């Protein structure tokens, strides 16, 4: 009995030591650590006046999910004990609309803000100060403690976003809600919902029912994207789905309750094959269009709306009228990227528009198209955001540019006095490799965690006042399940969250890694999938002293790399890498694994030496 009690106490101490410290993502502006702890119990009161009541209910629900404690908020005010959520009577000019003040002592926790949004952000910090839930299998619950601390915090950028592409693969209402929940915990406030593309139209438009009757469905395919066969004669389109307007309203409200604004995107005038499948009369040259299943087609099959057909703008007006009514966002994203303009060159209707409006070329036809859509949306009280190609041929007067082809588009738009959102590929593209391609899901480029974290989103030549913020983008051509979407998003979205919120001077890569490892434990408890690629070594072949050698690096310090050219899988007993290793004459494989503090943390990697040589050009 004594031995069992000792082991239980030891387990609790191990849990405490594992979760100790301040591990907040994104890093706050100012943190002052105090002495002692606040202990949350079933008797802890939550005080929230009427203007903070909904935040109190949210906190109560989150705490109940984690702890099992049912803490009902009360509007009675106390300064002696408990948790107090308070809207400041006299606004604090430093923290703004989304910042907060948090102070915890041994007897109380007080969160203050100028707005409900600020309080909500403070609550996210409080939840991160608590330890993760302890696994039920241990049959041990650690005390729910919060370290004594004083925090003053507010965001660097107004716009802190993530994009989820639901066109290439459809994600359920529950998936989308879960994604929003995960975003909210890290103080993201914009959810960019990529709703339409060549591979599917995902939102009900009652005035144009064929958009979902036909455009939401395609023939099923599995394997590597862009390698798929096109639709075959007589093949049924059974893969897809769409959101009804009632479901959209439900998701919009769900996001609003978490202080996240949804930015809907209807991608036009290119990326419109799903729309053309439903309404082929909107193409420059009418044919039997099919929703694309992931086969190559660009500039071989039309996917561009006709700029000279009045029906194009009539139908778009129907689409945007309904979308404007569904989404309270000030902005609607109209795409504008990757437009194959050759159809306009050969189209008599488009060329008639070119001559009538004295346009020089197809680039200016695109500018004309985007400007007409902007007028349409401005009349509905909305402003447009487009990918940086909307700069081609001249930027629409009031447009905001989302810069994805590096930062050049953002630099150009800012120089013209337009607002920009930085989403540059590869740094903020979440669909890319984050570790060695031999051990990652197939994709097309690389952005490791360190690349994302260390990237500075505001170029030196840009006045930061024009940068609304930053955004990570998860394109889902190769992401067909929600668990895979989680894997691609985290932990790189931690880095984006910190870059969008935290002052540059407060960012610290070594500290960030420690925090990320802590949040992995939280994700384990919530059964959220994430990539552990940051633990895997970066392996390359170099030529040194006339010999080909293996070079290995790690993304952060504290890892040891063990390797062998023999057949057995290495462990901690194998040689430790400390400098480039000459490639022996005969072996075909390199086997590598990483350890941290005596525990294996990385993949057990088997790397063909010929492939490593080929990567390096040898």
**What is d(CA 493, CA 183) in angstroms, rounded to the nearest whole number?**
9
C-alpha gyration radius of the chain: 27
My answer on whether omega of the bond before 426 falls inside 30° of 0, hence cis, is yes
Say if CB 573 and CB 579 are below 8 A apart: no
Cis before 491 (ω within 30)? yes
3-state secondary structure 302-327: CCCECCCCHHHHHHHHHHHHHHHHHC
Q: Which residues, listed in sequence order, are joined to residue 149 by a DSSP beta bridge?
A: 33, 104
Can you tell me which residue has the tokens 């049912």?
A: 70
Q: Residue written as tokens 């009369």?
A: 281
Q: Which residues form the catalytic set?
A: 197, 271, 338
What angle separates helix 245-256 from helix 173-184, to the nearest 10 degrees? 10
Q: Which string of DSSP letters, residue by residue, matches 276-297?
A: HHH-GGGBSS--------SB--
Between CA 210 and CA 386 the distance in angstroms is 25
Kindly state the tokens that stand for 471: 């955004």
Residue 263: which H helix or E strand, with range?
strand 261-268
Judge whether 126 and 103 are in contact, CB under 8 Å. Answer: no
| Bridge partners for 402 per DSSP | 387, 421
Please say whether the beta carbons of 212 and 225 come within 8 A: no
Tell me the C-alpha distance between 299 and 462, whole Å.
35
Three-class SS of residue 340? Answer: coil
283: left (phi over 0), alpha (psi -120 to 50) or beta: beta
Instruction: Tell me: cis bond preceding 26? Omega within 30 of 0 counts.
Output: yes
Hunting for tokens 């910090």 — which residue is that? Answer: 125
Give the integer Cα–Cα distance in Å for 279 and 315.
9
Alpha helix ranges (H) inside 327-347: 342-346
Separation between Cα atoms, residue 102 and residue 148, nearest integer Å: 10
Q: How far is CA 56 from the centre of its chain?
A: 27
CA 452, CA 182: separation in Å to the nearest integer? 19
DSSP class of 375: H
CB 463 within 8 A of CB 414: yes
The answer to whether 423 and 470 have CB atoms below 8 angstroms apart is yes
| d(C-alpha 215, C-alpha 204), whole Å | 10
């Amino acid at each position: 009995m004594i031995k069992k009690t000792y082991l239980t106490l030891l387990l609790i101490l191990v849990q405490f030591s594992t979760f100790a410290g301040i591990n907040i993502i994104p890093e706050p502006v100012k943190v002052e650590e105090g002495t002692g702890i606040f202990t949350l119990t079933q008797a802890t009161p939550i005080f929230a006046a009427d203007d903070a009541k909904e935040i109190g209910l949210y906190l109560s629900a989150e705490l109940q999910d984690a702890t099992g404690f049912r803490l009902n908020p009360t509007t009675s005010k106390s300064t002696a004990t408990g948790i107090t959520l308070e809207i400041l009577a006299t606004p604090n000019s430093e923290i703004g609309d989304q910042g907060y003040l948090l102070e915890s002592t041994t007897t109380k926790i007080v969160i203050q803000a100028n707005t409900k949004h600020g309080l909500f952000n403070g609550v996210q910090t409080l939840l991160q100060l608590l330890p993760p839930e302890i696994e039920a299998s241990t049959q041990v619950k650690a005390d729910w403690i919060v370290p004594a601390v004083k925090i003053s915090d507010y965001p660097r950028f107004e716009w802190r976003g993530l994009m989820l592409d639901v066109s290439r693969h459809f994600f359920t209402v529950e998936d989308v809600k879960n994604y929003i929940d995960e975003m909210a915990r890290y103080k993201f406030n914009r959810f960019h919902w990529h709703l339409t593309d060549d591979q599917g139209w995902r939102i009900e438009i009652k005035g144009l029912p064929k958009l979902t009757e036909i455009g939401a469905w395609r023939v099923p395919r599995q394997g590597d994207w862009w390698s798929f066969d096109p639709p075959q004669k007589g093949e049924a389109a059974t893969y897809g789905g769409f959101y009804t307007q009632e479901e959209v309203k439900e998701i919009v409200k769900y996001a609003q309750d978490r202080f996240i604004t949804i930015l809907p995107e209807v991608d036009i005038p290119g990326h419109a094959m799903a729309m053309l499948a439903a309404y082929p009369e909107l193409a420059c040259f009418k044919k039997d269009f099919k929703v694309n299943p992931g086969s190559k087609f660009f500039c071989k099959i039309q996917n561009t709306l006709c700029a000279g057909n009045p029906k194009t703008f009539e139908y778009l007006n129907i689409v945007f009228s309904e979308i404007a009514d569904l989404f309270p966002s000030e902005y609607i994203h109209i795409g504008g990227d990757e437009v194959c303009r050759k159809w306009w060159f050969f189209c008599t209707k488009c060329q008639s528009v070119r001559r009538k409006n004295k346009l020089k070329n197809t680039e200016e036809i695109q500018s004309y198209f985007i400007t007409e859509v902007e007028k349409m949306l401005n009349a509905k009280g909305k402003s447009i955001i487009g990918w940086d190609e909307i700069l081609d041929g001249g930027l629409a007067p009031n447009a905001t540019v989302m810069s994805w082809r590096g930062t050049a588009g953002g630099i150009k738009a800012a120089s013209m006095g337009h607002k920009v959102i930085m989403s540059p590929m590869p740094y903020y593209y979440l669909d890319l490799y984050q570790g060695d391609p031999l051990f990652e899901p197939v994709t097309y480029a690389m952005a490791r965690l360190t690349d994302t974290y260390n990237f500075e989103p505001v170029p030196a030549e840009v006045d930061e006042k024009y940068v609304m913020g930053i955004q990570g983008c998860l394109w889902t051509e190769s992401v067909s399940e929600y668990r895979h979407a989680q894997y691609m998003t985290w932990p790189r979205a931690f880095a984006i969250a910190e870059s969008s919120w935290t002052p540059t001077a407060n960012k610290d890569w070594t500290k960030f890694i420690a925090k990320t490892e802590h949040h992995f434990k939280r994700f384990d408890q919530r059964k959220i999938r994430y990539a552990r690629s940051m633990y895997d070594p970066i392996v390359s072949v170099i030529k040194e002293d006339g010999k080909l050698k293996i070079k290995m690096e790690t993304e952060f310090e504290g890892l040891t790399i063990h390797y062998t050219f023999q057949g057995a899988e290495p462990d901690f007993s194998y040689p430790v890498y400390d400098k480039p290793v000459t490639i022996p004459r005969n072996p075909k494989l390199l086997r590598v694994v990483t350890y941290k503090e005596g525990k294996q943390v990385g993949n057990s990697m088997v790397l063909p030496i010929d492939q490593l040589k080929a990567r390096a050009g040898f």
